[in-house]
Amino acid sequence: MTTLLTTIIPDLGYIVIASLFALISYYVKDFRKKHANFIEEQEKALKEKIGVDQYNMDKSIATDIILRIEEEAKGFNWDSEVKHSKATELISKKTGLDAESIYNLIKATVTKIKMGQVKSEDKKVA
């Protein structure tokens, strides 16, 4: 009888442990399958958010460059072609914006300057 118990108890223990691992892995796999779309949507939203943040940062840099060039142009009496070429060159070096976006930003910023909506900050050196 002891021999029977010594062989049956380990076998039953093995079956119980194997069954538990099988159930756990099944539920983990099921959980992942159910939440995979949610996780993918979160990753996609994060990538889009990073893209929007990068664009906003590039736009801010471009606007600062345009304002700076407008201020320099007053001192050197540059015409609009010179200002545009200098702005385009600097913005394309500092940002990842394409040519059309740069053109539209220059046009919008210059229009805002003419309307008095945007003013450059005079930086005084002490």
Report pLDDT digits (tens) over 11-64. Answer: 888 899 999 999 998 888 887 777 777 777 877 887 788 788 888 898 899 999
CA distance 31 to 36: 8
The pTM for the full model equals: 0.58
Report pLDDT for 126. 31
Delimit the domains of the chain by residue range: 2-115
- Nearest-Å Rg of the Cα atoms of the chain is 33
Q: Which two tokens stand for residue 8?
A: 């049956």
Report pLDDT for 92. 92
SS3 content of the chain, % helix, strand, coil (to 5): 85, 0, 15
